[in-house]
Chain A
Amino acid sequence: MEYELRDDLKYTSTHEWVKIEETLTTIGISDYAQHQLGDIVFVELPDTGLVLEKGSNAAEIESVKAVGDLIMPLSGEIVEVNQNLIDSPEIINTSPYGEGWIIKVKISHTDELNDLLSYNDYKILIESEEK
């Protein structure tokens, strides 16, 4: 199976993607992750202003068959959540890297960026999970 991957993004081993920009960092789940979950029907979003540690659960993503967590790839403050997901959670399925973004974060430890996976590393990871 072919999954869409973007080479301008960083990834995690728990299938989040991270888009690093000057002020805010946008986070979502990968195309591989949304395929694994199937039809997404509900997203429980965090409150803005919340400060979360790297590795903690930031959101719950529920499909018809399963529940997945959005795990913080980086420590930081939740500055914005994607309100469109409340009424249209399925946009994570249709546009995981675009309209289906989940949270925007002001990161607190820039050194954590070094722990993220590159496009190539992540590609190898999902290829190995497919086997």
Chain B
Amino acid sequence: MVEFAGFIMPVQYEGIISEHNAVRSNAGIFDISHMGEFLLEGKDVFPFLQYVMINDLNLLEPTKGQYSCMCNENGTVVDDLVYYEENSEKFRMIVNASNRQKDLDWLNNHIGKSDVKVTNLSNERSRIAFQGPNTDELLQPLVNVKLAEINRFYFRHCKLKDIPIFIARTGYTGEKGFEISMENQYVNDVWRILMDLGATPAGLGARDSLRLEACYSLYGHEINNKITPVEAGLFWLVKPKEGVDYIGKEVLMDQKEHGTDRIIVGLNLVERGIIRDNCKISKDGEEIGYVTSGGYSPTLQKTIGLGLIDIQYSKIDTQIEIEIRNRLLKGLVVPTPFFRNI
């Protein structure tokens, strides 16, 4: 067990590799109740979100969610998050645990005179991610909606047995699956029901190894308040939104058009070893960047990593060196993602 953003969280239940493999081969459940959940309501919610988010809310419709970032004026990331359109005046937002308070402050500080009310539901609701190739099949008999009709990033309010849940087809593993939100009083029952379906409890360790294989950004690693979404390879989130001003737009649109000095790339080692966070990356003795996330891929059974490096060395197959505890190991820039099943 470790302390994570004020929560006591399990790194693993049985073992990271077996939990990881259960998600890739069948189904796993993650307690993600540490994440923040906000409800934004009011007549001006849509224009407000258009102003604080970099993605374009015109792509949404009721019952659909969207991945996006809130950025600073200089384009660096305040947080990455998902919000769901309940209706044009009501959005549900799920944010990173470590940024809950910062995000609340950021949102409230930008409301001004707009008609927007932010309610923090984080502590009265709980969240579970149910992920893996068999999740549809396992869950369908117990819910009163047709799961096949919920497309990726769409959601429903429905019942699991007789328990009211919010269920979205989203995830952070590179597998099919769902993220479920419910009132606290139901979470133990939902966890038990999903375990009884054969889902394997998975901890923070497997959550990280799965998302690293799938190359999903982790706040504090690939993105933070010193890295922009374009540098992190999330340039597709940066939308022109004609006629709409949004925070960070000028810098981000310029970066999207003209490129950046550095960018996140995939990394492998040619020599034996395990890439770890914060290892220095160099080319012919000159430092060119650092590892933002590194580890072992249980699916590929080798080390993988992501690194932020000078753009001139970002071409696939570029030979680089990674310094791992005072040893300089030969590595390569490789294509991403390492593994996704969706």
B window 27-50: CB within 8 A of A = none
Which residues in A have their C-beta under 8 angstroms from that of B303? 42
- CB distance B15 to A62 under 8 Å? no
- Would you give the 0/1 interface string for B1-19, flagging 1 where the beta carbon is closer than 8 Å to chain A? 0000000000110011100
Which residues in A have their C-beta under 8 angstroms from that of B205? 38, 64-65
Q: Which of B16, B298, B325 contacts A67 (CB 8 A)?
A: B325
Instruction: Label chain B's interface by main secondary structure.
Output: loop
B319 near A: Cβ within 8 Å? no
Instruction: Label chain A's interface by main secondary structure.
Output: strand
Q: Which of A38, A60, A62, A86 contacts B16 (CB 8 A)?
A: A38
How far is B274's CA from A54's CA once the two chains are assembled, in angstroms? 26
| Total A residues in contact with B, Cβ cutoff 8 Å | 12
Residue of A nearest to B12 (CB): A38
A42 with B15: in contact, given A64-B209, A64-B296 (CB under 8 Å)? no
Which residues in B have their C-beta under 8 angstroms from that of A42? 272-274, 296, 303
Which residues in A have their C-beta under 8 angstroms from that of B298? 39, 64
- CB distance B272 to A64 under 8 Å? no
Q: Which of A60, A63, A65 contacts B325 (CB 8 A)?
A: A60
- CB distance B16 to A39 under 8 Å? yes
- Would you give the 0/1 interface string for A70-112, flagging 1 where the beta carbon is closer than 8 Å to chain B? 0000000000000000100000000000000000000000000
How far is B17's CA from A12's CA once the two chains are assembled, in angstroms? 28
Which residues in A have their C-beta under 8 angstroms from that of B233? none
- Would you give the 0/1 interface string for B251-282, flagging 1 where the beta carbon is closer than 8 Å to chain A? 00000000000000000000011101000000
Which residues in A have their C-beta under 8 angstroms from that of B16? 38-39, 63-65
A41 near B: Cβ within 8 Å? yes
Which residues in B have their C-beta under 8 angstroms from that of A47? none
Which residues in B have their C-beta under 8 angstroms from that of A63? 16
Which residues in A have their C-beta under 8 angstroms from that of B17? 39, 64
Q: List 20 A-B contacts (CB under 8 A).
A: A38-B15, A38-B205, A39-B15, A39-B16, A39-B17, A41-B274, A41-B296, A42-B272, A42-B274, A42-B296, A42-B303, A60-B325, A63-B16, A64-B17, A64-B205, A64-B295, A64-B296, A65-B12, A67-B274, A67-B276
Nearest first, the 8 closest Cβ-Cβ pairs linking A and B are A39-B17, A64-B16, A41-B296, A62-B274, A64-B296, A42-B274, A65-B205, A39-B15
Q: Beyond A42-B272, A42-B303, A64-B298: 6 further Cβ-contacts under 8 Å?
A: A39-B17, A63-B16, A64-B17, A64-B205, A64-B295, A86-B272
